[in-house]
Structure 1
Amino acid sequence: MKKIITSIFLLCLIHNYGQDKATPNYDLAAKFSPKNLAKMVHSTSVRPHWLKFGNKFWYQYKTTDGSNYYIVDADRRTKRKLFDNDKMAAWLTEITKDPYDAKHLPRFDFKFVKNETAIQFRVTSKEEVRSKDTLSKKKMENKVYHLEYVLGGNGLKILSNDKAPKEDWKKWANIAPDSSVVFFSKKFNLYWMDKENFLKAVKNDKDSTIVENQWTKDGEEHYGYGGYGRGLDNEEIEKRKNDRFPIRGYWSSDSKKFVYQRTDSRDIKELWVINSIAKKRPTLETYKYHMPGEQEYYNREILIFDIESKGIKKVEIDSTKQQYIAIFSKPRKPSQYDDDFNPTLLLSDKGKIYFNTISRDRKKLDICVADINTGKVDILIQDKTNTYFYETKPVYLLRNETEMIHWSENDGWGHFYRYNSNGKLINRITKGPFHSFNIKHIDEKTNTMYFSAHGVDKSLDPYFEHTYRVSLLGGTPKILNKGNFNTMTSPNDNHRYFVNNFSRVNTVPKSELRNSDGSLIMNLETADLSSLFDSGYQFPEPFKAKADDGITDIYGVIYKPFDFDENKKYPLLEYVYPGPQTESVNKSFSVRMDRLDRMAQLGFVVITLGNRGGHPHRSKWYHNYGYGDLRDYGLADKKYVAEQLANRHSYIDINKVGIYGHSGGGFMSTAAILVYPDFFKAAYSQAGNHDNSMYNSWWSETHHGVKEEIDDSGKLKYVYDIEKNQSLAKNLKGHLFLVTGDMDNNVHPGATYRVANELIKANKRFDFMILPTQRHGFGNMSEYNFWLRADHFSKHLLGIENNQIDMKMINKDIPMTK
């Protein structure tokens, strides 16, 4: 009897112990895959297509009932359907003989015509007809209907059965504003063709009658005029050596001048990745890649092409100086976004080229102007810092170009300052402990600037973006879209109206229309999340904690399993990205759940949070905190916040903490498990820049710093020194999984190999996965990578190992048609 009672008692203990522990729920994680989410969540914001006549826009919005198309007249405060879906389905069915209904219409690509009183679009039917193409008359193809609908009309008009013109020209053509001439790059030189020949190329880019004109003859590889970018292997480069490629440049508004920044990278060393499964013989991809501290550098010059004389003039800058150059362009109007072509225009209409130069160490910034006829340069504004310039903006011209607005962090916060055209300060426009972000519009008649900012209202999350207006003379900004939300606005050309999309991570996204004084004109949409909630979805929870200094506020989000049981203990996972350009902490509702919500469903509490040195939209002190300590600066905050949350919430098991991330997060997660080996028990590091001495110089030198030193011969040299993850390999105690794509030409796989090499030399066990042919984002192997990560943390933090050969959670979604 005693034995029976003892056995029952032990069984109860085991049962209760099991109930207290979280176990991996693969089915729940599989339910929220990107493929499944696409069926549950559709539109979450309104993207207005502002029209050119009147204050009107159209938009598409998709719910579980299909897509609807609306046109909004802001002046009349009306919103109506662009067409009746039932009628449109009937008309299309009658014309094409393909069945449609109101919920299942084809994908439209509208073009507004006839002063925006009608729309034209094409629909491809299932009927096959003989090709009209003279080169392939025997080929069968699907019949195309080019249709027109007059708004408010009662039917469709068939315009033709012509296919849409090919748009291959968009890959290479740089068209002058008046369409008189088209520039492109060929064999590393600048070529041009007139409008007549360009129209031939639009119809058939292989037309032998096309006349191309070569302008330059001194172009060569790595010191040319336009050309191909990174991503072509050596065989493809050889195959396409006579193709047309784009040349990125800036047009004067009268189409008489073309400005181009030519870069000499011939002395920059090469880097390589190999496609090992391309063909019988692997193919090599070679590209220029400048690494931190290398003395060779890019030589940059600005060239002015005169269209009429065919002359070329250089802007008077020192092309041997190691510096960055950014030419300023005119901002595009919202009503131009859907235009067939949008030439990039110089900021000035008065024969001036505005640009900035930033020293290689990014401590010195000059705002400059050049005369477009002579190339003579004047320096208008000079800024200096002891850390670095990261966020820079073009100047904004106003009052017939007699004044300009410059953005600066001169007092430790990002703000706007008004200058005259000679660079003399008139007044500062914004002031205070907040971050002014972007100019939306300036109304010169009312002396009003509309702009976005962060952190104005101290009661809100400082990362939330809102839109404000303020006098150009300065003063207190007035908020135009008040609310405890993160917002994204889309104004019309004159900012008389703007669409306001708003949400938090724990609210349903909504969209509305407001006017320039912030008054609500109408509510537009509320996202349809019904299917998502029916599946068991629950919002995550925002939180605030303290950084490791006990002073700085840190903001983050907690993601729990949807079957959360407060009586259980859950391992804690941290999804990290150190910045400094962003912190990858969601502020608005997002369907990108793969790295956060979905990981929690396996049986973890997942957190994501910022860290000192992480984000540019707070103070410059906050953003520049990690300068000179790029490996370790954010780690203490990640650890300390986790400990605070464990003190607040009894369901967090602080003895089982894992960490993971991608790119900078891959680098940070490995650093964390090596710097705090007794705290972080498992890490999963994807595509990490573990060795920033071999990552691209712009990112590494900017955020960590590069020193200018004079050597014994009096020559200026650049010195870069940084701590690397592999130097801590001996510290590994926990379970580390390294992943990289073998064709990552952003963060080279060599950075991961170096960590693996040192771990092997230190006799450490770890997991390592190379994803063949994958670039930095892992592409079509992302789902495979998700389940590798799930297995890793389930095994080492939940104690459940999945030994099955097949990844059934992927396979079960694949139809077994063969």
Structure 2
Amino acid sequence: MHKTLKLLVVFLFIGTTALAQTKELTLKDAIWGRYREYNPAQLHQLSWVKNGKDTYSYVEKHMLIGKNIKGKEVEYTSTIQINNALRDAGQDTLKHFPAITWINPDEIRFTNDNHFNLYQLKTQKIAQSISVKSDGKFADFNSDSRKVAFTVDNNLWVADENGMKAVTTDQNPGIVNGQYVHRREFGITKGTFWSPKGDLLAFYRKDETMVRDYPIVDFMTREAELKSVKYPMAGMKSHHVTVGIYNCKTQKTVFLKTGKPLDHYLTNISWGPAEKYIYIAELNRDQDHMKLNQYNAVTGEFVKTLYEETSDTYVEPLHPIVFSKTNPNHFYRWSRKDGYFHVYLYDTSGEMLKEITKGPWEITDILGFDPAEKYMYFVSTKVSPIDRNIYKVQLSNGKITRLDNADGTHQALLSEDGKYLLDTYQSKNVPRVTNLITNKGKVVRNLLTAANTLKDFRFGKNSIFTIKAADGKTDLYCRMILPADFDSTKKYPVIVYVYGGPHAQLVRNTWHNNARFWQYYMAQKGYIAFTVDNRGSDNRGAAFENVIHRHLGINETADQMKGIDYLESLPYVDKNRIGVHGWSFGGFMTLNLMLRHPEVFKVGVAGGPVVDWKMYEVMYGERYMDTPQENPEGYKESNMLNHVSSLKGKLMLIHGAEDQTVVMQQSMKFLRECIKQQKQVDFFVYPTSVHNVHGIDRVHLMRKVSDYFLENL
């Protein structure tokens, strides 16, 4: 091509691209767009067909589609066909294709109102429908026994095609059956646990009669109404939990003899393959001593302790043991006992047979095993703490092989025969890709490459880099977004977005580096958006996290200030215009930064902040702080009420009136202390919101937050 023509083509390309990238995010785009119109395309309900001989399925345009490894396609059913079957069964029809679970290659399950429907694909008919009460909640279906456990108010029920049966009949509202316990800590997400064949049902029974009622006020009624909840605070009385075993055949219940003290934690419930035994990771209230205990599921008798784990800080069991499919006396345990989450093989005598994986990185997901259990497939941070990659490990010798071929954040589904995986990933510039790959990492077929839904928007540079923590040696990952029209000769204000607590990691190698669109929105307004994951945040190992133990806010703040040191070293950062915003633990961190470093932060917005850890719930609070009686100095130093006198900048607190996670008392105490000390602060409350503000209210919230920075920073 002629040189002049080449230059013309390049010019036209650059010019066209520049013209295309002219759109700016509205606030509504920034809040809802990521999950709606700007959410990259995906294969909805992607899954392997159970016993389907390497066939996977997904939902597209109201149709359930299946494909085998060779790409042969079959249309299983559609919303229209399902609705025809629902009419025949006397049920209401659906507007969208329902969420389904594969029972076998010819049968799927879906719910419709209070009906659990088993739908046959050959006949396009509902073969079986199990109804639960219209006010039933926490439903748990077992595909082998075709039974559903559910709760009504505080009692547990079981239903099958023959009807419903009450398992418990407690009248005291302080006794709760079949629901999650310990405020969803320790990986607990539900309160019922079916045995493998579905003949027995383990369930939590929570006695919270000893916990004082905590007042939550509903202001939306004609006269405000009190909605009392149980909210045990650190150092105060906690609820007592037991585990019942209901026999569906005899309709009898036995309770496991888990002993005393009664305020211990019963976590990570798992069944043995023969249904004779049940296993519980039991943790003392101090959360520094865990025992894996075995119980007889028929008599409830304690059998033995298989192993124990202790810590100078805390033990946090998060994953139930998983039994081997090839040897019923072996099980896999997921633990952080060597400092990082890894997998160990044990036998039922309690002997550790081998450490399956090891190293200074974390397993974040176990995908499964091949049928012969020669390999375990998993996702980990082995490449980088901000990436997630797919691996297999040979169980005989510990050899690890990476299976994906792209940096970024991967998640995968393993086929039942262990030969194939459905690999879906994102990275900074990759919205979403799904590939079918072999268990050796070869790409068989690309199933989806999503288009960039934000290609027309004008965004500034988004980069990830590391700085050193306050200890001078630990790498911390940072993300910085510059304004689209960035000019290095100018000075820019900065908004630090912070969380900083356990179980969260903000800086990740996902699409747009895991940034919230709101950060782009504020960058459009001329702000630099900055985030650093300090020590105490997730997926970096136990030592990285538990440095915060007994002194919440201290090391986290020191690390955040290293981020400030970096920002202030940049010639284009306006040192006099630095703000901070965070929610929940991030609200606590916002207060820490504003009050401990008032000379640095001009503006802060603290959402749902913890102010005084004595007023936070017992399980989380005592894990990281011990009790107020054991750690009075730590609680004193972490109490933001004791630092109000140093407030200088503009500060707004925002809280949901019905917040049951961080109760509004936290903000009320802070406001009262500000009044006492004649410190001016701003406050806004969402009358019907709980801990998070959702729906149209969230657009209002982020307008409030945005305007506060625009007006004051």
Under a length normalisation based on structure 1, what TM-score does the superposition of the two structures give?
A: 0.73
Answering whether residue 611 of structure 2 is matched by residue 690 of structure 1, we say yes
Question: Alignment partner of 1:580: what SS?
Answer: coil
- Residue 775 of structure 1: CA displacement? 1.2
- Picking from 619, 644, 653, the partner of 2:574 is 653
| Counterpart in the other structure of 2:13 | none
Question: Alignment partner of 2:615: what SS?
Answer: coil
Alignment of structure 1 residues 382-393 onto 2, 5 Å? 382-393=308-319
Question: Alignment partner of 2:177: what SS?
Answer: coil
Alignment of structure 1 residues 233-632 onto 2, 5 Å? 248-276=191-219, 278-294=220-236, 296-329=237-270, 346-377=271-302, 378-398=304-324, 399-443=326-370, 445=372, 447-454=374-381, 456-457=382-383, 461-530=384-453, 532-537=454-459, 540-589=462-511, 593-615=516-538, 617-632=539-554
- Residue 539 of structure 1: CA displacement? 6.0
Question: Alignment partner of 1:514: what SS?
Answer: strand
Answering whether residue 222 of structure 2 is matched by residue 222 of structure 1, we say no
| Counterpart in the other structure of 2:3 | none
Closer, same or farther: CA 440–753 of 1 in aligned 2, 3 Å? same
- Picking from 162, 165, 182, the partner of 1:196 is 162
Alignment of structure 1 residues 34-183 onto 2, 5 Å? 34-35=31-32, 38-44=36-42, 47-52=45-50, 53-60=52-59, 71-74=66-69, 76=70, 78=71, 82=75, 107-109=96-98, 168=134, 171=137, 179=145, 183=149
Closer, same or farther: CA 435–708 of 1 in aligned 2, 3 Å? farther
| Counterpart in the other structure of 1:786 | 702
Amino acid in the other structure paired with 1:794: L
| Counterpart in the other structure of 1:32 | 29
- Residue 728 of structure 1: CA displacement? 0.6
CA distance in 2: counterparts of 1:230 and 1:415, whole angstroms: 25
- Structure 1: gaps of 5 or more residues: 1-24, 96-104, 124-146, 151-156, 199-212, 232-245, 330-345, 711-716, 798-818
Q: Is the 8 A contact 1:440 1:450 kept in 2?
A: yes
Q: Is the 8 A contact 1:441 1:494 kept in 2?
A: no
Closer, same or farther: CA 44–391 of 1 in aligned 2, 3 Å? farther
Amino acid in the other structure paired with 1:32: D
Question: Alignment partner of 1:744: what SS?
Answer: coil
- Residue 117 of structure 1: CA displacement? 7.7
- Residue 685 of structure 1: CA displacement? 0.7
Residues 703-758 of structure 1 deviation map (CA, whole Å, 9 limit, x = unaligned):
22238879xxxxxx9x9766211211110011111111111111111101111111
CA distance in 2: counterparts of 1:596 and 1:774, whole angstroms: 23
Q: Is the 8 A contact 1:433 1:619 kept in 2?
A: yes
CA distance in 1: counterparts of 2:107 and 2:157, whole angstroms: 38
CA distance in 2: counterparts of 1:709 and 1:121, whole angstroms: 50
Q: Is the 8 A contact 2:469 2:559 kept in 1?
A: yes
Q: Is the 8 A contact 2:339 2:543 kept in 1?
A: yes
Q: Is the 8 A contact 2:585 2:610 kept in 1?
A: yes
Question: Alignment partner of 1:637: what SS?
Answer: helix
Amino acid in the other structure paired with 2:701: N
Amino acid in the other structure paired with 1:222: G
- Residue 473 of structure 1: CA displacement? 3.3
- Residue 566 of structure 1: CA displacement? 3.3
CA distance in 2: counterparts of 1:114 and 1:312, whole angstroms: 28
CA distance in 2: counterparts of 1:760 and 1:787, whole angstroms: 26
Closer, same or farther: CA 503–120 of 1 in aligned 2, 3 Å? closer
Residues 404-435 of structure 1 deviation map (CA, whole Å, 9 limit, x = unaligned):
22222222222222222100121211122222
- Residue 55 of structure 1: CA displacement? 1.0
Question: Alignment partner of 1:440: what SS?
Answer: strand
Residues 567-599 of structure 1 deviation map (CA, whole Å, 9 limit, x = unaligned):
332101110001111133343116873442222
Amino acid in the other structure paired with 2:584: S
Residues 435-469 of structure 1 deviation map (CA, whole Å, 9 limit, x = unaligned):
22332212362522112221x23xxx323111211
- Residue 319 of structure 1: CA displacement? 4.5
Q: Is the 8 A contact 1:489 1:499 kept in 2?
A: yes
RMSD between superposed Cα atoms in Å: 3.9
Q: Is the 8 A contact 1:328 1:353 kept in 2?
A: yes
Closer, same or farther: CA 418–588 of 1 in aligned 2, 3 Å? same
Q: Is the 8 A contact 1:263 1:298 kept in 2?
A: yes
Q: Is the 8 A contact 2:403 2:440 kept in 1?
A: yes
Residues 653-699 of structure 1 deviation map (CA, whole Å, 9 limit, x = unaligned):
23311100111111110111100110111101111112221111111
- Picking from 716, 724, 730, the partner of 2:645 is 730
Closer, same or farther: CA 645–493 of 1 in aligned 2, 3 Å? farther
Amino acid in the other structure paired with 2:697: M
CA distance in 2: counterparts of 1:672 and 1:562, whole angstroms: 28
CA distance in 1: counterparts of 2:564 and 2:475, whole angstroms: 14
| Counterpart in the other structure of 2:600 | 679
- Residue 116 of structure 1: CA displacement? 5.2
Closer, same or farther: CA 325–629 of 1 in aligned 2, 3 Å? same
Q: Is the 8 A contact 1:689 1:747 kept in 2?
A: yes
CA distance in 1: counterparts of 2:201 and 2:108, whole angstroms: 34
Amino acid in the other structure paired with 2:314: Y
Amino acid in the other structure paired with 1:503: Q
Q: Is the 8 A contact 1:631 1:724 kept in 2?
A: no
Q: Is the 8 A contact 1:45 1:501 kept in 2?
A: no
- Residue 504 of structure 1: CA displacement? 2.1
Closer, same or farther: CA 114–679 of 1 in aligned 2, 3 Å? closer
Closer, same or farther: CA 481–490 of 1 in aligned 2, 3 Å? same
Amino acid in the other structure paired with 2:419: R
Q: Is the 8 A contact 2:145 2:199 kept in 1?
A: no
Q: Is the 8 A contact 1:348 1:354 kept in 2?
A: no
Residues 222-256 of structure 1 deviation map (CA, whole Å, 9 limit, x = unaligned):
1243479999xxxxxxxxxxxxxx99322333443
Q: Is the 8 A contact 2:155 2:178 kept in 1?
A: yes
CA distance in 2: counterparts of 1:477 and 1:120, whole angstroms: 37
Q: Is the 8 A contact 2:179 2:204 kept in 1?
A: no
CA distance in 1: counterparts of 2:369 and 2:310, whole angstroms: 27
Question: Alignment partner of 1:401: what SS?
Answer: coil
Under a length normalisation based on structure 2, what TM-score does the superposition of the two structures give?
A: 0.83
- Picking from 624, 630, 636, the partner of 1:703 is 624
Closer, same or farther: CA 678–555 of 1 in aligned 2, 3 Å? same
Amino acid in the other structure paired with 2:344: Y
Closer, same or farther: CA 506–546 of 1 in aligned 2, 3 Å? farther
- Greater CA radius of gyration, 1 or 2? 1
Q: Is the 8 A contact 1:628 1:705 kept in 2?
A: yes
Answering whether residue 665 of structure 2 is matched by residue 750 of structure 1, we say yes
What percentage of aligned pairs have identical amino acids?
Answer: 24
